[in-house]
Structure 1
Amino acid sequence: MPKFDRNSYNLEGKVALITGGARGLGRNYSIALSMYGADIFVAAENEEGWDEIREIVEANGRQIGFIKQDITKPGAADTIVDAVIEKFGHLDILVNNAGIQIRNDVLDFKDEDWYKVIDVNLNGLYMLSHAAAKVMAKQKHGKIINIGSMQSYRAGKRIFPYAASKHGVLGLTRAYADALAPYNIQVNGLAPGYIITDMTRSLQQDPVRGPEIREHIPSGEWGVPEQLMGPMVFLASEASDYVTGVMLPVDGGYLLR
């Protein structure tokens, strides 16, 4: 019978691969998991933020590795997972964090922008999950954590591919959770609400939507990135071993209204 104690959140000896783990919300996920003992491997298409996150993770007493890789390129997922295994010897946690958003009016939306967003937010996530699952299945354990959105549940009338991709992330999370359960792999998602980040700056500053969003949140306040760190540690740890196929909203109650 599994027991619960303070070590249930301990990630020592675990290796976490985080796409986009040096910037934005991904940076906070890297910090949180390293605080609880995980070694970190960051996959990103550029080196922005690498020096800073290296310093933070190493100050937490953990190791960190990097690979510069566009996750949408053919073969990228296998290249990334192979690099993790080469450095650390195993892979225990995958955080599919990388994502982009492009806004436009419905009749002006460009086909190339549709494909660009779907490639990063859904196709790249699928390919990495598939590559990581092969490793985790052999180990008979693993955690895959997909980053969803409020648009996993709602419409987004100016961010069509983003909304479609995040609905897809929810569906893929559930399908993979079911398929990988026999291998002791839990697949869950984290759905940030309206969090103060660079990606949401235009919404924060919008004279109409900004106040509308704030009024829709029960607390009346936008969230901050640090409020996602605890839920991330929970989903990555043994404390969530009987939780799978869940997309956890961290939204201050936004979806209640």
Structure 2
Amino acid sequence: MASDEVFMKGDIAVFAAEMKKLINNKETGDIRFLIGPNRKPIFAHRCILAARCDVFRAMFADQAQKNTTQDAEIPFVLSDITPDIFLALMEFLYTNCVTLNGKIAIDVLGSSIEYGLEELRKLCVEYLIDNLSVNNAAETMQASVTYGQDELRDKTMDYIEQNTENIFKTKGFHEMSEEAISYVMTSDKLDIDEVDVISAVREWATVNSVVIGKPITEVSKSVAQHIRLPLLSPDELTEVEKENKKDNLIPVECVSFAWKFHVFKKGEKGNALTTKRKGTKPRESHKGLDAL
């Protein structure tokens, strides 16, 4: 490179706007996809997709090995992705930008990982973090666990800790997996009392018991182990034990451990079950915890 050569950037927004016109362009496209269960046709350009995405490059190379004109004209069928998600993917590949909204952001995140598009993944994570709300926090936490997104998980956990009670009442909370809800339940910073935690977990377990057709005991076992029963007063624990006989939400050994705490009036240092949460209401029985 000559010493006086300088890489100059033009207007990226103008470039993106012009390139966007090529998306799903039937006149100039040289490849056709059939997308979703209804097989909606979407047109694209081999050279752009191959240059921008290793997955598409491999897809086209596999087709080229057959080396027949007839094969080249056969559309690619992608039934496991919806047209709106696929078009968002195309927008990124053509323009290096993407238009996201609350309905598609999580699915686009999943597709970005599937197609190995790291920069698109980062954009999706940024969008989801910037748009956290009470109504979508549980769903976003689920996505972070499902797709192994640590930054998204940590930021969403911060938000849940600040808005715990309201989030625990949402539909999204009831739809969380055992793994995701167990992760949330390990936090000391949840702004909610344990009585309300039990109520929320019981609702979650009841909903999931119906959905997957398994007993509440089986559905709730791994999650219920994170309920901090020692934080309840003896009277509250007695009521919980009575209620528990109806559905066996909480394993017997967890209840026994809580009664053991009340007998000896001493918590276990480093044991999460005897550690108060941010939202734990004060009780006379907490003297043993406060002494730790």
More strand by share: 1
- Bigger Cα Rg: 2
TM (normalized to structure 1)?
Answer: 0.28
TM-score, normalised via structure 2 length: 0.26
Q: Which structure has more RCO (C-alpha within 8 Å, separation ≥ 6)?
A: 1
More helix, by proportion: 2
